[in-house]
Homo-oligomer: A and B are copies of this chain.
Amino acid sequence: MRLKQFVGAVVAGGLLGISPALAETILVTDQAAYKKAVVGLEPGDKLVLANGVWRDFEIVFEALGEEGNPVSLIAETPGDVIISGQSNLQLAGEFLEVSGLVFKNGYTPTSEVISFRVDADTVANNSRVTGVVIDNFNQPERQEVDFWVMVYGKNNRFDHNHIVGKRNKGVTMAVRLNTEQSQENHHRIDHNYFGPRQILGSNGGETLRIGTSHHSLADSFTTVENNYFDRCDGELEIISNKSGKNIFRNNTFYQSRGTLTMRHGNNNIVEGNVFFGNGADHTGGIRVINAGQTIRNNYMEGLKGTRFGGALVVMNGVPNSPINRYHQVKDATITNNSLINSDNIQLAAGSDAERSAVPVDSEFAENLIFHDDARDVFTVYDDVSGIAFSENVLAPMDPPEFADGFRREAMALDRADNGLLYPANDIGAGAPHDLSVTTKNETGVSWYPKSEPIVAFGSGRTTNVSPEPNALFYAVSAAKAGDTLVLQSGNYVVSKFLKIKKPLTIKGKGKVNIAFERSALFQISDGGSLRLSGVNISGKDAPDNAGNAVIRTSPYAMLENYRLEIVDTHFSDMDVNHSFNIISTAKGTFADNILIKDSSFEDVTGAVLKLDTENDDYGIYNAEYLTIANSNFKNIQGALVDFYRGGTDESTFGPHFELTDSKLTNVGGGKRNKSAASIHLHGVQVTHISGNTFVDSKSFLINHTVGEPKTRVVDNKFVDTLLPKNYELNSGLEPTAVIENNRVKNQ
């Protein structure tokens, strides 16, 4: 065993195991030493990065190993080598192996964090990245696109890695087939932990993509198996398959919004995967497009997804489809899947004037469909005679009427040792009993925690705050994540911005009046969330300035989605100048949810909610859920809400808007209210407005832009207020909003 020492190097051969004869183990402690050592590595050599933080390190690992005798780049101790700052890793050559590194507290200066190439011509083959962590290694700008793992070349393996917290735009991991040297690649992607990825609020939030539409008729031969997808909620596609002959096997999808989408490419196999929805909104299963797809032995439970996000979706195609549209489903085999308490199976989905090619030569057999609610889970959008249905079993609902091949059987389900539900009796349908379920612990690495991403309101300490000058300011500054500040009775005059950088609850006790002297009272900054209750807020001391707000987000992009809850809180005197908004959000910020309950708002020169700053029509928006209940709005010159989701892509589930049991009086009539509406919804996907009273207010303006938005305006009372207008901007459809059972009274 040859040994070399570089600047400050310590040989750790013993610790690192025995290398083959003549192989070297080289410990490097700085970038200069790394650059020197990486030249001339030979098969079997191990280049060891010393423990510590490596800042601004663009690692180029180019070498030639041999089969069974790779060149390795490893951590001195797995998990103790931190790559931070502006750093990345490029591999090129043959038989390389990288392990034990942690990428955190930084981002890549290029567009890729780990790349299996150094330039367009120089890729890595027969190489492996294993036991590597990428944790919140995000571009500072939410909408700046990059990719964490890009696999080029052939016969590469990416396994046992821990990948969590991608918050900016761009697929987390992708296999590229852009040149011949990266096609028919036989990569293996296995035993990775894909940890929580928050809702992106636009296209570009997939966790894994194999191929692109452009090269989707090429075969990839990539195997994706035994991975754990934990709340991968980025967008509509958890996995976007865009090439041929891939296998997706025995992966677990835990409460992840969206589906495994067979978007492009033919002859793929999806088998033995397990989807647990846990009843969460938009949890989906498998979406089938293209020819020769096999979907067998999968298990879906508790999936609530609808439309393209259902538990099982078989799409219509476009006749003679361009490469980037929808190819017809043909020769699909969908057998022995269990769909338990999952709400939607969609057949011939997406049928419209363009997507008119129905599924053909396909089979749907021996599937088990069970739903506690006896719900009819099927929606059939077009002719499904091209699908042969046979030996499918349902319970407890009646067989559907659109086809034979379903039978109802009485059954009880028991949970087996593998965690899945099976009928007590053998019914000859559904997923096999020996389905092996990949658990969280089997994926990623043992030495890095799989932690929870969210700190709940009220989970920390409680502190009392008195109305002394600056006391609230200092209390907010000092609070820890999850803390609650209880404001004692009195008048608070706040002369500085209250910057909310953690999840925080602010609660009034007795009569709490707050006035403020800056252009905003609260600023929610990155990492912050706010729950406000039991206080009265006046705008009377705010500066004589257009565009004040009570609560605003950081003007900078926020990587972390935030939550805002306003309960039993009363707002008044927001009229020192024009365009005084209650809640004002900035471009590049995104709320997971905004809740307003039991609150009142009076004399406001702007809007109550400005959620319309993503106006580039790139499909981006400001908030996923906006829910307003039992609240009162009076003399609001702007709209109750301006809610904007532009673009014509169909990649997001939101935004969602709900307004119930509230009263609006004189809302929307100000001359600066651009929409001239009391409620302005543009591209909102799910709208529910019921039990409200609208008095002397402007009408709503509801623009449907894409997809099949669900809008219901029912059981409201309109007094001297016109009924809503609904426009279908791109579909050419008649208005689809359901506007019914409303009472109209003009005085």
Contacts and interface: CB of A to CB of B under 8 A. Distances in A.
Contacts of A441: none
A543 to B, nearest CB: 6
A109 interface: yes
**Which of the listed residues A141, A144, A616 has the most CB atoms from chain B within 10 Å of its own CB?**
A616
Contacts of A587: 587
Interface in A135-166: 141, 143-145
A617 interface: yes
Contact of A110 (B212, B495, B545, B616): B495
A383 interface: no
Interface in A497-553: 497, 517-519, 543-547
A587 B519 CA distance: 17
Contacts of A615: 615
Contacts of A547: 143, 616, 618
A104 interface: no
A543 B212 CA distance: 13
Number of copies of this chain that the complex holds: 2
Interface in A608-622: 615-619
A503 to B, nearest CB: 24
A547 B649 CA distance: 14
A557 interface: yes
Contacts of A20: none
Contacts of A544: 212
B110 A579 contact: no
A448 interface: no
Given A579-B618, A616-B547, A111 B517 contact: yes
B110 A518 contact: yes
A22 to B, nearest CB: 33
B555 A517 contact: no
A615 B587 CA distance: 12
A615 to B, nearest CB: 7
Contacts of A555: 141, 556-557, 588
A145 B545 contact: yes
Given A145-B519, A519-B144, A557-B555, A543 B111 contact: yes
Nearest to A145: B545
A550 to B, nearest CB: 16
Interface in A556-576: 556-557
A109 B496 contact: yes
A672 interface: yes
Nearest to A647: B546
Given A587-B587, A618-B579, A543 B145 contact: yes
A13 to B, nearest CB: 35
Interface residues of A, number: 34
Interface in A575-591: 579, 587-588
A667 to B, nearest CB: 19
A556 B545 CA distance: 21
Nearest to A109: B496
Interface string A423-451: 00000000000000000000000000000
Nearest to A147: B543
A204 B519 CA distance: 14
A293 to B, nearest CB: 25
A110 B212 CA distance: 52
A109 B546 CA distance: 20
A557 B204 CA distance: 26
A109 B145 CA distance: 34
Contact of A496 (B110, B497, B556, B588): B110
Contacts of A169: 545
A583 B453 CA distance: 37
A615 B617 CA distance: 14
**Which of the listed residues A109, A557, A619 has the most CB atoms from chain B within 10 Å of its own CB?**
A109
B579 A111 contact: no
B546 A618 contact: yes
Interface string A476-511: 000000000000000000011100000000000000
A113 to B, nearest CB: 13
A618 B556 CA distance: 19
A496 B144 CA distance: 12
A353 B211 CA distance: 66
B556 A110 contact: no
Contacts of A143: 547
Nearest to A606: B616
A545 B212 CA distance: 13
A619 B617 CA distance: 23
Contacts of A579: 616-618
A607 to B, nearest CB: 11
A296 to B, nearest CB: 33
Contacts of A556: 555-556
A644 to B, nearest CB: 11
Interface string A320-359: 0000000000000000000000000000000000000000
A235 to B, nearest CB: 14
Nearest to A204: B545
Nearest to A548: B145
Contacts of A616: 547, 579
A518 B141 contact: no
Contacts of A496: 109-110
A202 to B, nearest CB: 9
Contacts of A141: 555
Contacts of A546: 618-619
Contacts of A519: 144-145
Interface string A221-234: 00000000000000
12 contacts: A109-B497, A111-B517, A111-B518, A145-B519, A145-B545, A169-B545, A204-B545, A546-B619, A555-B557, A579-B616, A579-B618, A615-B615
Q: Lowest 7 CB-CB distances: which A-B pairs, in order?
A: A145-B545, A110-B495, A109-B496, A546-B618, A547-B618, A141-B555, A145-B543
Given A110-B496, A110-B518, A111-B518, 7 more contacts: A109-B497, A145-B543, A547-B616, A579-B617, A579-B618, A615-B615, A617-B672
Interface of A: 109-111, 141, 143-145, 169, 204, 212, 495-497, 517-519, 543-547, 555-557, 579, 587-588, 615-619, 672, 674
